[in-house]
Amino acid sequence: MLAVSSLATATSGTYSSRVEIRLTAPNRRLGVLISGRGSNLQAILKAIQVGDLDASVALVVSNREDAMGLVHARTAGVKGEYLNSRDYANRDDYDAAIASLLRARSVGLVCLAGFMRLVRRPLLEAFPNRILNIHPSLLPAFPGLDAQGQALEHGAKVSGATVHLVDAGLDAGPIVAQSAVPVFDTDTVDTLSARILVEEHRLYPQVIGRLLDGTCRLQGRRVICDPPASASARRLPADN
Ligand code: GAR
């Protein structure tokens, strides 16, 4: 029953507030999908390396052969695969191929890190509510390409980073966590992007950890996470 609800949620993008879904992964093996630079991938690898994130990266998949992230993966001793979408008849077949690569590496949680493609049903069905994305704006504002440029153009005074569950929409799934930064009158796309990127690199590994710990649940479109263990421990004396 739970599996059916999760599946409906992830693939259709309709969220019933009567259904509560515990967000978990069967293991701590990550699959990271990239298209380019791979700085968020590096932040995840670093967090694992220094012991801030209890996980491993089992596979990195890129839809671009020249993605720097593939170099970072291989340098870190992580398997990196390039999958050319032109080798597949359609988008569904391409995503089915990604899903089978991830499954073959026993991936438990999928993290999009600058993966510039919409995720299709075969991948959503293979990992229902177990695909995360990071986006450089405070969603639902400014989805899609050039989020930082959109924020500047719109005259936003605050922007930031969002980590959300992935569904079939464009940067559209339930928000797990956000971090805000100011937008200054003097900002360019580059300066704003750099300020947001610092938050991305801090936020993404943290959120991945929370998901893997099974401390979050989905109620309708709302993701509700238990406070970190250290926070509840800190509150105890005041409660007594
Ligand atoms: C990041 O800013 C990420 O938030 C964005 O692409 C960049 C990838 O950088 N993702 C999106 O815009 C998704 N819609 P990276 O390759 O250095 O991690």
Residues 6+ apart with CB under 8 A from 205: 43, 44, 46, 47, 48, 52, 53
Asked whether residue 143 falls in the same domain as residue 183, the answer is yes
Kindly report the CATH number assigned to the domain that includes residue 34.
Answer: 3.40.50.170
Asked whether residue 116 falls in the same domain as residue 103, the answer is yes
Residue 171 Cβ inside 6 Å of ligand 1? The answer reads yes
Asked whether residue 12 falls in the same domain as residue 31, the answer is no
Question: For residue 83, what pLDDT band results from cuts at 50, 70 and 90?
Answer: very high
Closest approach atom of ligand 1 to CA 134: 4
Structural domain of residue 13, as residue ranges?
1-24+135-164+171-240
pLDDT at 238: 45
pLDDT at 34 over 70: yes
Q: What percent of the chain has pLDDT over 70?
A: 91
Asked whether residue 183 falls in the same domain as residue 231, the answer is yes
Asked whether residue 115 falls in the same domain as residue 176, the answer is no
For ligand 1, atom 7, which residue shows the shortest CA distance? 114
pLDDT at 232 over 90: no
Q: Can you spell out the DSSP letters for the chain?
A: -HHHHHHHHHHH----TT-EEEE--SSSEEEEEESS--HHHHHHHHHHHTTSS--EEEEEEES-TT-HHHHHHHHTT--EEE--GGGSSSHHHHHHHHHHHHHHTT-SEEEESS--SPPPHHHHHHSTT-EEEEESS-TTSS-SS-HHHHHHHHT-SEEEEEEEE--SSTT-S-EEEEEEEE--TT--HHHHHHHHHHHHHHHHHHHHHHHHTT-EEEETTEEEEPPPHHHHHHHHHHH-
pLDDT at 227: 85
* Global confidence as pTM: 0.92
Structural domain count of the chain: 2
pLDDT at 3: 45
pLDDT at 239: 43
Asked whether residue 41 falls in the same domain as residue 142, the answer is no
Asked whether residue 111 falls in the same domain as residue 190, the answer is no
Residues with active-site annotation:
135
pLDDT at 196 over 60: yes
Question: For residue 237, what pLDDT band results from cuts at 50, 70 and 90?
Answer: low
Asked whether residue 50 falls in the same domain as residue 71, the answer is yes
Residue 202 is which amino acid?
R
Asked whether residue 18 falls in the same domain as residue 37, the answer is no
- State the Cα–Cα distance between residues 206 and 177, nearest whole angstrom: 10
For range 192-216, the mean pLDDT: 98
For ligand 1, atom 6, which residue shows the shortest CA distance? 114
Question: For residue 235, what pLDDT band results from cuts at 50, 70 and 90?
Answer: low
Residue 199 Cβ inside 6 Å of ligand 1? The answer reads no
Residue 128 Cβ inside 6 Å of ligand 1? The answer reads no
Question: For residue 234, what pLDDT band results from cuts at 50, 70 and 90?
Answer: low
pLDDT digits (tens, 9 = 90+) for 169-191: 999 999 999 999 999 999 999 99
Asked whether residue 20 falls in the same domain as residue 139, the answer is yes
Asked whether residue 193 falls in the same domain as residue 226, the answer is yes
> How far apart are the CA of 161 and the centre of ligand 1, in A?
10
Asked whether residue 1 falls in the same domain as residue 55, the answer is no
pLDDT at 166 over 80: yes
pLDDT at 233: 56
